[in-house]
Structure 1
Amino acid sequence: MSTSGVGKTVQDVMHEGAQCVGENDTLRTAAQMMRDMSVGALPICGQDDRLKGIITDRDIVIKCCAEGHDLDQITAGEFARGLVWVEAGSSVEEALEKMEQHQIKRLPVIDNHRLVGMITEADLAKELPDSKLAEFVHRVYAAA
């Protein structure tokens, strides 16, 4: 692993142009978007174009399908809770700390109150030295 993450901002390493699922869209729509974009999580945005939360493929399977709910009746907005995000100009280290603190693997990136991208554990893996990456993995997956 490189040590190139030192001094870089979140915007330097994030995936740009994250696409939102609307808060009133169904979980079927969210699942289809994930399939079409080959992603495991989507930000949830409101009608005001503001970030409301994030939904994962695991949320859909565990909290909807496994519970016998109808994918066409549950909206993405019903999963919008506990929002954690990072500013685009923040350091990679700050993003890492937030992800560790909240034990999450994906983090929406905000600039000027608007969603501009996502940063994931894979993005961090490219930027962190082995020791930092090992520490991150231990902290995020320890309670899993």
Structure 2
Amino acid sequence: MRIADCMTKDVQIANPDQTIRYAAQTMGRLDAGAMPVGENDRLVGMITDRDIAIRGIARGKGPDAKIREVMSAGIEYCFGDEDAEDVLHKMAELQVRRLPVLNRDKRLIGIVSLGDLAMNGESAGEALSGISQQGGLHSQMH
């Protein structure tokens, strides 16, 4: 199955100059833990609830801090025409639960989560196992 067939297509995009309050409120309304960040029609980062908590609040930033101050700028992504199983392996390797989905012109067309893949018959166990290993990007062991 292709990622484009199981991804979430209607994705809310944040602007890096919006506040982390806006991002948190939007994620709460959407019941999502992450949002892509776009500027000038290009994906420039991702902001997660964890970014807001750790890079924002824990470092003394208030709710009016800009998204660009706390977002993750290193963007990992997949393409809509990639095979779901290959993307699951990539998610396990990167230890992430969601990836932005781009077309081959590198325009955002959606987002895919482990839940999206599991709901569409893909086995997310391997990816979840990889994400759960100690020592990942967001490990508490550091």
Partner of 1:14: 7
| Pair 1:31 & 2:35 matched | no
Q: Count matched residues.
A: 132
Q: Which residue of 2 aligns with 1:5?
A: none
8 Å Cα contact 1:22/1:45 also seen in 2 = yes
Post-superposition CA distance 1:75-123 (Å, at most 9, x none):
2223242110111111102211221121110100011321111100111
| AA matched with 1:70 | G
Asked if the contact 2:51–2:72 (Cα under 8 Å) also holds between the matched residues in 1, the reply is no
RMSD, aligned CA? 1.4
CA–CA distance in 1 between the matches of 2:126 and 2:87? 14
Q: How does 1:34-113 map to 2 (within 5 A)?
A: 34-46=27-39, 48-73=40-65, 75-78=66-69, 79-111=71-103, 112-113=105-106
Match of 1:142 in 2: 133
8 A contact 2:92–2:126 mirrored in 1:
no
| Partner Cα distance (1:65, 1:114) in 2 | 31
Identify the match of residue 122 of structure 2 among 128, 131, 134: 128
Runs (5+) with no aligned partner, structure 1: 1-7
**Separation in 2, partners of 1:69, 1:29:** 14
- Relative to the length of structure 2, the TM-score reads 0.86
Contact 2:101 2:109 in 1 (8 A): yes
Give the superposition deviation at 1:135: 2.0
SS at match of 1:25: coil
What TM-score comes out, normalization by structure 1 length? 0.85
Query: Runs of at least 4 residues of structure 1 off by over 6 A?
Result: none
**Identical aligned residues as a percent:** 33
Q: Is the 8 A contact 2:80 2:102 kept in 1?
A: yes
Which structure's relative contact order is higher, taking Cα pairs within 8 Å and 6+ residues apart? 1
Unaligned runs of 5+ in 2: none
